[in-house]
Amino acid sequence: MVFKRLHEDLSAFVARDPAARSRLEIVLCYPGFHAIVLHRVAHRLWLWRRYLFARLISQFSRLLTGIEIHPGATIGRRFVIDHGHGVVIGETAEIGDDVTLYQGVTLGGIAPSVDSRAQVNVKRHPTLQSGVILGSGAQVLGPITIGEGARVGANSVVTRDVPPGLTAVGIPAHVMMPRDRAETARFAAYGTPAGCPDPIVNCIDTLRGQVGVLIDRVVELEERLQRIEGGDALPPAESESRVARAIVQGIGDKARA
């Protein structure tokens, strides 16, 4: 079983890393693959309740690769850690099939450090469903679920569930709707497809449009009031509205920069 899983892991590296020229190169030179091999062995010992030996293998893997995977973590098939240095995977993390992690990713717990004995065998770390991609530096914290096919952009901090097929970016992470649903079926390096819309900029653009409509309405009402009162002078609101529009335009431009 372990050797079959390792063969599948090796094939996954070949499929997802265009820099890999051969399987032998991956076996000899890829720290991510080394960490997975050692974790498969350590996890088997953990299931056999050989906890100390499992932790020793995990510690050796950390020293060798710079990747820390607790032997209690459950990892599915065709798992890839690309580049890998600085990856941390906690004890109660659960990872599905065909998942890809990049360097600096943390699957951590946010339970308080006090009364740690009460947290033994309690779910504290994330669950990644099948096909998830986590970009470099992503921090996924707590007993949350990242849905099937979801992606997390580089350096994002995720503390809430991410629905299947969507992308989360930012600090704290915001979920973006994909422009093309078919995009979610394709592999995207570092978890962020090109041209992803920024949810913050989209929100600001919507607010700008609403403010513009309100300004037009105020100018129209003041012009009507001016005519009712019999005045012929240009309402000052029109010139003021130009200033307001310039301010709103400037805010939107800064958000895009």
C-alpha span between 12 and 80 (Å, rounded) = 7
Instruction: Say what the pLDDT of residue 103 is.
Output: 93
Instruction: Say what the pLDDT of residue 190 is.
Output: 57
Instruction: Say what the pLDDT of residue 211 is.
Output: 84
Instruction: Say what the pLDDT of residue 253 is.
Output: 59
- In the structure encoding, which two tokens stand for residue 33, read together? 């693959």
> Is-contact 174 151, C-beta < 8 A?
no
CATH topology of domain 2-191: UDP N-Acetylglucosamine Acyltransferase; domain 1 (2.160.10)
- Is the confidence at residue 115, as pLDDT, over 70? no
Confidence of residue 132 (pLDDT cuts 50, 70, 90): very high
Confidence of residue 231 (pLDDT cuts 50, 70, 90): low
- Is the confidence at residue 144, as pLDDT, over 70? yes
Q: What are phi and psi of 164, to 5 degrees?
A: -55, 140
Instruction: Say what the pLDDT of residue 68 is.
Output: 96
Instruction: Say what the pLDDT of residue 196 is.
Output: 62
Least confident of 84-93, 115-124, 158-167: 115-124
4-14 per-position pLDDT tens digit: 888 898 989 99
**Count of C-beta atoms within a 10 Å radius of residue 122:** 10
Q: What is the mean pLDDT of residues 89-118?
A: 86
- In the structure encoding, which two tokens stand for residue 192, read together? 């962020």
Structural domain spans, the chain = 2-191, 199-256
Confidence of residue 189 (pLDDT cuts 50, 70, 90): low
R_g of the chain computed on alpha carbons = 26
More confident residue, 84 or 148: 148
